[in-house]
Structure 1
């Protein structure tokens, strides 16, 4: 009898311990997945819920601000998946999961989900099957990770098979131009990648490792000049960048915040960070 009681007590203790806890995740309510908006200094986004121990990257809100997507590893620790949250009646819940086939971005009108050299279009309350952008982009000698689109349907994307460079393609006279390698303003340094073009094309953000940086890949910004050219690359500074890997920036569709990836340690722990997008206007005046 005593042995039975001891076993029962032991099981009760183990089931109540943190290692066996089945606590439900917190309910996320309100704008920005219920998170308190950050200041100009970057901080983790949704710590303990989205940004936690492990590999959480490529956080992005869809236009309308009622959907949030990020990339992580599946339960087996190997499969890479995209998870989508949706807000309904002020509550955020997971509604979608699919294998990643390119880094997710959105057209400014929210009707298209870009995924490298492919895309999905809005279909009612969901998305179409992934389709290709065509032979101009679906090339074996290019390696597109992220493609960003403006309101004018200008595409800016990275190409890791050509030495980590950024390319640009515009619509001219109703036709899409062949993607061209961008200038040395952008294609200087190592690991140049993950561009984000503003919907109005007033600025472009990307990441690169350069000698003047903070130690690893940093976020840079270039502003469109009055003559239509791109200005110099500006390091986004110590409030955004760190001595770790900082990359894959996007600006929320309402223009208020920047989200990006940050490496936390050398064991593969990467989190999503965010900061007030006012830093963009501060850098514009420098």
Structure 2
């Protein structure tokens, strides 16, 4: 492991192995990056079935910037009550180790450079001896019912909002003069249709991805992408197409820190069983993004 990776990983492991977590033994047969899974091609595959993607829970993930730690947020409805759980997988010399935590709710989100870690509308910055005290994004964010947030290398934040009618808009906030500026709504190229949510911005800000419902879609919510144009504006939304989107609900797109793979969720009904669809985690080669990129 490179020295800079070790420097990044040690504070993270310190957070994991606290009194609120329980480390289990190394999982057998999981060696190499991405929990030792066979890498996907241009057709999406379920990620780590039975390990990360489980039949009893909906799962969402986020890799630490060095890809050595995977955070998993889980949810389900049990007897009419919503339940949440958190699991962490960390890479060790022998493979991957599972850490079950008592934390509930959202997993922490790390900025692309690993210098900030976000917890909803709050965050910490990396210091010489660990992490700062918890900070707030700023008063301009206080009244926005934010669901999720991502950040570019330049510090631009993108995020969604929770509304009961599903008509919330996607926003962005630029970093300037040591603080985030007042959030602005994306243009109609992005904020069109219904249920625009879970945005992801490329580290270099060359594109934004999200999920939403549009009349010309494949069914329920689909994944869309908008590329940055030469004049700095965002291009028209492009549906990721039939390799990714189906009649089922797709959502939560994000690309791995190395830019190689796209992860997303899809609502899938259990095979041969009646009942509600459950969210499974899929991944696919991120080359599908390059295949959609316009030539200017």
Q: Quote the residue 1:189 is aligned against.
A: 193
Between Structure 1 and Structure 2, how many residues are aligned?
261
Q: 1:44 aligned to 40, 43, 46, which one?
A: 46
Q: Quote the residue 2:91 is aligned against.
A: 87
Q: Is the 8 A contact 1:120 1:131 kept in 2?
A: yes
Q: Quote the residue 1:64 is aligned against.
A: 66
Q: Is the 8 A contact 1:115 1:147 kept in 2?
A: no
User: In the superposition, relative to structure 1, how do residues 209 and 125 fare at CA in structure 2: closer, same or farther (>3 Å)?
Assistant: farther
Structure 1, unpaired ranges of 5+: 1-23
Alignment partners' CA distance in 2, 1:258 and 1:195: 13
Alignment partners' CA distance in 1, 2:242 and 2:210: 16
User: In the superposition, relative to structure 1, how do residues 98 and 235 fare at CA in structure 2: closer, same or farther (>3 Å)?
Assistant: farther
- The normalised TM-score by structure 1 is 0.82
Q: Quote the residue 1:5 is aligned against.
A: none
Largest Rg, 1 or 2: 1
User: In the superposition, relative to structure 1, how do residues 120 and 267 fare at CA in structure 2: closer, same or farther (>3 Å)?
Assistant: farther
Cα RMSD for the two superposed structures: 2.7
SS of equivalent residue, structure 1 residue 165 = coil
User: In the superposition, relative to structure 1, how do residues 228 and 169 fare at CA in structure 2: closer, same or farther (>3 Å)?
Assistant: same
Q: Is the 8 A contact 1:45 1:273 kept in 2?
A: yes
SS of equivalent residue, structure 2 residue 170 = strand
Q: Is the 8 A contact 2:27 2:95 kept in 1?
A: no
Q: For structure 1, which segment, 125-134 or 191-200, has the greater mean C-alpha deviation from structure 2 after superposition?
A: 125-134
Alignment partners' CA distance in 2, 1:38 and 1:156: 27
Deviations 1:27-59 (A, max 9, x none): 422111110000111110001111121223222
- CA shift, 1:285, in A, is 3.7
SS of equivalent residue, structure 2 residue 139 = coil
- CA shift, 1:82, in A, is 2.6
Q: Is the 8 A contact 1:214 1:241 kept in 2?
A: yes
Deviations 1:217-246 (A, max 9, x none): 100001111111111100001111111110
Alignment partners' CA distance in 1, 2:203 and 2:168: 24
Alignment partners' CA distance in 1, 2:229 and 2:244: 23
Q: 1:276 aligned to 252, 266, 285, which one?
A: 285
